[in-house]
Structure 1
Amino acid sequence: MQVLVLGSGVIGVTTAWYLSQAGHEVTVVDRQAGPALETSFANAAQISPGYSAPWAAPSIPVKAMKWLLMRHAPLIVRPRLDMAMVRWTLAMLRNCTHDRYALNKSRMVRLAEYSRDQLDLLRRDTDIAYDGRQQGTLQLFRTEKQLADVHKDVDVLKAAGVPCEVLDRAGCIAAEPGLAASDVDFVGGLRLPHDETGDCFLFTNALAKLAAERGVVFHHETEIHAITTTDGRATGALTSKGALTADLVVLALGSYSPMMAKPLGLDLPVYPVKGYSITARILDADRAPVSTVMDESYKVAITRLGDRIRVGGMAELSGYNNTLPALRRETLAHSVGSLFPGGGDLAGASYWSGLRPMTPDGTPVIGATKIPGLYLNTGHGTLGWTMSCGSARVLADMIDGRSPEIDAHDLSLNRYGAWAGAFAPGFK
Structure 2
Amino acid sequence: MRIIVLGAGVIGVTSAWYLAEAGHEVTVIDRQPAPARETSFANAGEVSPGYSAPWAAPGIPLKALKWMMQRHAPLIVQPRPDWAKLTWLARMLGNCTPEAYNANKARMVRLAEYSRDCLGALRDETGIAYDERRLGTLQVFRKEAQMAAAEKDIAVLREGGVPFEVLDAEGCARAEPGLAKGEIVGGLRLPGDETGDCFKFTTALAALCEAKGVAFRYGVGVERLVVEGGRVTGAMTAEGPVTGDAVVVALGSFSPALVKPLGLGLPVYPVKGYSLTLPVVDAGAAPVSTVMDETYKVAITRLGDRIRVGGLAEIAGFDLSLPPARKATLLRSVEGLFGGAGDVDRAEFWCGLRPMTPDGTPVVGRTPVPGLFLNTGHGTLGWTMAAGSGRVLADIVSGRRSGIETADLGIARYGREGRRGGALVPARA
What TM-score results when the alignment is normalised by the length of structure 1?
Answer: 0.96
| Matching of residue 187 in structure 1 with residue 222 in structure 2 | no
Listed as ranges, the matches of 1:39-54 within 5 Å are: 39-54=39-54
Letter in 1 for 2:365: G
Listed as ranges, the matches of 1:53-92 within 5 Å are: 53-92=53-92
Per the TM alignment, residue 183 of structure 1 is displaced from its structure 2 partner at its CA by 3.7
Equivalent residue of 1:417, what SS? helix
1:279–1:349 Cα contact (<8 Å) kept: yes
Matched with 2:321 is 323
Matched with 1:159 is 159
Per the TM alignment, residue 155 of structure 1 is displaced from its structure 2 partner at its CA by 2.4
Distance 1:46 1:59 in 2: 25
| Matching of residue 21 in structure 1 with residue 21 in structure 2 | yes
The 10-residue stretch of structure 1 (3-12 or 139-148) with the greater mean CA deviation from structure 2? 139-148
Equivalent residue of 1:347, what SS? helix
Per the TM alignment, residue 60 of structure 1 is displaced from its structure 2 partner at its CA by 1.3
Matched with 2:30 is 30
1:182–1:340 Cα contact (<8 Å) kept: no
Matched with 1:390 is 388
Distance 1:422 1:66 in 2: 33
Letter in 2 for 1:79: P
Matched with 2:170 is 170
Letter in 2 for 1:368: R
Listed as ranges, the matches of 1:127-146 within 5 Å are: 127-146=127-146
Distance 2:87 2:17 in 1: 34
Distance 2:55 2:39 in 1: 18
Task: Detail structure 1 runs of 4+ shifted over 3 Å in the superposition.
Answer: 420-423
Matched with 1:310 is 308
Per the TM alignment, residue 97 of structure 1 is displaced from its structure 2 partner at its CA by 1.9
Deviations 1:331-389 (A, max 9, x none): 00000000011111112100000000000111000111010010000000000000000
2:266–2:421 Cα contact (<8 Å) kept: no
Residue among 313, 336, 339 paired with 1:338: 336
Matched with 1:255 is 253
Matched with 1:426 is none
Per the TM alignment, residue 422 of structure 1 is displaced from its structure 2 partner at its CA by 9.7
Q: Alignment identity in percent?
A: 62
Letter in 2 for 1:299: K
Letter in 2 for 1:253: L
Matched with 1:204 is 202
Q: 1:377 to 1:422 in 2, by over 3 A?
A: closer
Equivalent residue of 1:178, what SS? coil
Matched with 2:427 is none
Equivalent residue of 2:344, what SS? coil
Per the TM alignment, residue 106 of structure 1 is displaced from its structure 2 partner at its CA by 1.6
Matched with 2:121 is 121
Letter in 1 for 2:307: I
The 10-residue stretch of structure 1 (411-420 or 318-327) with the greater mean CA deviation from structure 2? 411-420
Listed as ranges, the matches of 1:101-120 within 5 Å are: 101-120=101-120
| Matching of residue 280 in structure 1 with residue 255 in structure 2 | no
| Matching of residue 147 in structure 1 with residue 162 in structure 2 | no
| Matching of residue 406 in structure 1 with residue 401 in structure 2 | no
Residue among 240, 246, 250 paired with 1:242: 240
Matched with 2:425 is none
Matched with 2:351 is 353
2:263–2:421 Cα contact (<8 Å) kept: no
1:87–1:422 Cα contact (<8 Å) kept: no
Distance 1:386 1:74 in 2: 21
Equivalent residue of 1:58, what SS? coil
1:227–1:234 Cα contact (<8 Å) kept: yes
Distance 1:211 1:422 in 2: 34
Give the aligned length.
421
Equivalent residue of 1:356, what SS? strand
2:275–2:311 Cα contact (<8 Å) kept: yes
Equivalent residue of 1:190, what SS? strand
Per the TM alignment, residue 14 of structure 1 is displaced from its structure 2 partner at its CA by 0.2
Query: Structure 2: which 5+ runs fail to align?
Result: 423-429
Deviations 1:275-334 (A, max 9, x none): 000000011111110000011111100000000000000000000011000000000000
1:273–1:316 Cα contact (<8 Å) kept: yes
Listed as ranges, the matches of 1:350-389 within 5 Å are: 350-389=348-387
1:110–1:160 Cα contact (<8 Å) kept: no
Letter in 1 for 2:267: P
Distance 2:314 2:164 in 1: 29
Equivalent residue of 1:419, what SS? helix
Letter in 2 for 1:252: A
Deviations 1:386-411 (A, max 9, x none): 00000010111111111211111211
Per the TM alignment, residue 156 of structure 1 is displaced from its structure 2 partner at its CA by 2.2
Letter in 2 for 1:175: A
